[in-house]
Amino acid sequence: MTADREVPAPQRGMAATALLAVDVQGDFLPGGSLAVPEGDAVVAPLLAASAAVDLVVATRDWHPPRHSSFAEQGGPWPAHCIAGTAGAALHPDVDRIADVVVSKGQNVERDVYSGFEGTPLADLLRARGVRSVLVGGLATDYCVRATALDAVHSGFATTVLTDAVRAVDVQPGDGAAALEELRAAGITLARSDELGGQGSP
């Protein structure tokens, strides 16, 4: 299995640190079918963080119609991020900075939150020499949480950018609880304006 898009980035070379921009897609942004409150506020910090890394990977939900996670199929969510629709499109600024795009959630029978599950993401990062990842995007309590946990469990030093995430908060406090869970799992919490440097030399 290969990534959906890999843009050569010769100026970056073999990467040490990657930014994982999780699911910054139309349906999760204001006006979308599953809009995350203030979801568009993650874009500016992600753009800022991209200057401090060697590789930018954007993950995206890329669901078939009638996916099992959709309410009409008995799932918990309204239909969202159907492959090829405007709602599945990455925010244009995130799309612009992404060297690699990885799709997930393509199995109609399985709901997937992590950018690592059923994708080539871990192997792709290792092949690029990545040892640490920064994680931001949507949503804190679902896909960001799952992606960050899988990142640290896969052996990557993992930092979640707290100003570059927003939560669904189906239950009030879900987002804050997710961040505490990530901290307890050994994941660093930081802001994008605390990052220094310009990636690997």
Active-site residue numbers?
A: 23, 104, 143
As a whole number of Å, the end-to-end CA separation of the chain is 30
The DSSP symbol for 77 reads: B
Distance separating alpha carbons of residues 127 and 104, to the nearest angstrom? 20
The dihedral built from the CA positions of residue 81, 84, 86 and 88, taken in this order, carries a sign that is: positive
Q: Which residue has the tokens 């073999």?
A: 14
Residue identified by tokens 């612009």 is: 96
Q: Specify the DSSP element, H or E, that contains 26.
A: none
Contacts of 172 (CB under 8 A, 6+ apart): none
- Residue 20 CB contacts under 8 Å (≥ 6 apart), including other chains: 57, 59, 115, 133, 134, 135, 136, 137, 147, 151
Calpha distance 184→171 (Å, rounded): 21
